[in-house]
C-alpha cells in the first residue's frame, strides 16, 4: 500500500516544474512524501453514497455528488466545492478517493479532466471558474437531476500545491465564500521580477501577497509539517491574512502529499469535509475542529494549529 501511495503522489509532479517554483534541492521524494499509512486516522465518509460522472455538456469537468438527491434542498443543502489539483494537473480523477469522501457529506464536488484529443496542458483558474459557472447553469437546467438542488450561494474552492495557488486566485471571485489552501501559499517573486510576472513565460499562476486583500471569506490553510517544503509559505500566508478569518493547521510528518492518496483521502479529507460542513452548512459539531482554543485540531498532539478571527 505504501508503494501505491508514493506512485499516486507522483501525479503532483506531472507538470509541477512549469507552475510550481521549486526551490533548489527539492526532489521527487520530497514532493511525494506522505504520512505513513500505518496507524494514520482513516477517512470518515458522510451519510451519502456517491456517484461520479462527467459534467453535462462540459467535457473538461467531472462531478462527484450524492447518488440520491431526494434530501436536497428541503432536508439538506448541497454546496459546491471546486478542486485544484497538485501540480496543476488537469486530471482530478487522481484525487478521486479524497473528493468522494467530501462529496459523501452532501457536497457537489467538481474537478477538471483532460478533454479527448486536446493538447496536454495545465489546469488554470479559468477552468475552475468554469466549474462554478457550470453549477449555476445546471441548477437551472430543465431535466437536470440537480435542477433546483444546488446551493449556488455556497461555493468553496480548495486545492493542493499548485492547485492551492489557483484557490488563492479564485478567492477574489465574489461567488466564492471560502477557500482551502493546502500544502501551498503565496510566493515571493525573484529579485528584480515584477509580481505576477514569470519573465519570458508571461503572467505567473503563482499568487503573491497582492492576492490576499482580495479574499473576502474564511481561509483554511493546511500543510504537512516539517517534511512539507511549502510549510513556510503556508505559515507566512496565514500570518499575512488580516481581513478575513483564517485557520492554520500543520500536520506533523505528513509531507507534501499528506494523506490525499490514503483510502478515501485519509485525515486531510476529514478536515476539509469538516471545514465545508461548518462554513457552508452551519454544522456546529464540525466547527468544533476549528473553533476556540480547545478545538479538536488545537488539542491534537499530531497537529500544530492556530487561528485568527474565528468565533
Query: Looking at the predicted structure, is the pLDDT value of residue 14 above 50?
Result: no
Please state, for a pLDDT cut of 90, what percent of the chain lies above it: 82
Q: CATH number of the domain that 131 lies in?
A: 3.40.50.1820
How many domains does the chain divide into? 1
- The predicted-structure confidence for 135-176, as pLDDT tens digits, reads as follows 999 999 999 999 999 999 999 999 999 999 999 999 999 999
**285 within some domain:** yes
**63 within some domain:** yes
**18 within some domain:** yes
**195 within some domain:** no
Give the range of the structural domain holding residue 49, as residue numbers without chain letter.
Answer: 2-187+200-308
Side-chain half-sphere of 80: how many Cα atoms within 13 Å?
Answer: 29
- The predicted-structure confidence for 255-269, as pLDDT tens digits, reads as follows 999 999 999 999 999
**304 within some domain:** yes
Closest by CA to 110, choosing from 156, 145, 151, 69, is 156
- The predicted-structure confidence for 96-136, as pLDDT tens digits, reads as follows 999 999 999 999 999 999 998 889 899 999 999 999 999 99
**Cα separation, 179 vs 157, whole angstroms:** 5
pTM over 0.85: yes
**73 within some domain:** yes
- The predicted-structure confidence for 212-236, as pLDDT tens digits, reads as follows 999 999 999 999 999 999 999 999 9
Amino acid at each position: 500500500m505504501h508503494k501505491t501511495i508514493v506512485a499516486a503522489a507522483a501525479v503532483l509532479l506531472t507538470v509541477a516544474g512549469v507552475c510550481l517554483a521549486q526551490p533548489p534541492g527539492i526532489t521527487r521524494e520530497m514532493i511525494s512524501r506522505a504520512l505513513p499509512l500505518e496507524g494514520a486516522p482513516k477517512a470518515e465518509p458522510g451519510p451519502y453514497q456517491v456517484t461520479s460522472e462527467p459534467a453535462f455538456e462540459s467535457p473538461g469537468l467531472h462531478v462527484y455528488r450524492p447518488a440520491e438527491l431526494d434530501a436536497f434542498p428541503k432536508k439538506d443543502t448541497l454546496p459546491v466545492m471546486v478542486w485544484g489539483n497538485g501540480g496543476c494537473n488537469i486530471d482530478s480523477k487522481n484525487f478521486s478517493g479524497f473528493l468522494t469522501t467530501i462529496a459523501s457529506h452532501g457536497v457537489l464536488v467538481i474537478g477538471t479532466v483532460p478533454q479527448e484529443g486536446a493538447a496536454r496542458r495545465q489546469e488554470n483558474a479559468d477552468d475552475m471558474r468554469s466549474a462554478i459557472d457550470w453549477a449555476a447553469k445546471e441548477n437551472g437546467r430543465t431535466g437536470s437531476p440537480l435542477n433546483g438542488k444546488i446551493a449556488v450561494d455556497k461555493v468553496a474552492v480548495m486545492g493542493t500545491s499548485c492547485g492551492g495557488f489557483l484557490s488563492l486566485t479564485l478567492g477574489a471571485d465574489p461567488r466564492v465564500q471560502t477557500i482551502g489552501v493546502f500544502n501551498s501559499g503565496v510566493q515571493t517573486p525573484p529579485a528584480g521580477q515584477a509580481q505576477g510576472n514569470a519573465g519570458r513565460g508571461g503572467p505567473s499562476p503563482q499568487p503573491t501577497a497582492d492576492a490576499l486583500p482580495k479574499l473576502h471569506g474564511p481561509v483554511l490553510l493546511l500543510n504537512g509539517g516539517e517534511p512539507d517544503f511549502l510549510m513556510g509559505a503556508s505559515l507566512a500566508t496565514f500570518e499575512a491574512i488580516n481581513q478575513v478569518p483564517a485557520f492554520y493547521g500543520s500536520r506533523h510528518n505528513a509531507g507534501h502529499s499528506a494523506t490525499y492518496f490514503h483510502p478515501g483521502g485519509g485525515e486531510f479529507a476529514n478536515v476539509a469535509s469538516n471545514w465545508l460542513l461548518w462554513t457552508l452548512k452551519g454544522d456546529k459539531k464540525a466547527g468544533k475542529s476549528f473553533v476556540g482554543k480547545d478545538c479538536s485540531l488545537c488539542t491534537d498532539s499530531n497537529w500544530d494549529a492556530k487561528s485568527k478571527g474565528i468565533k
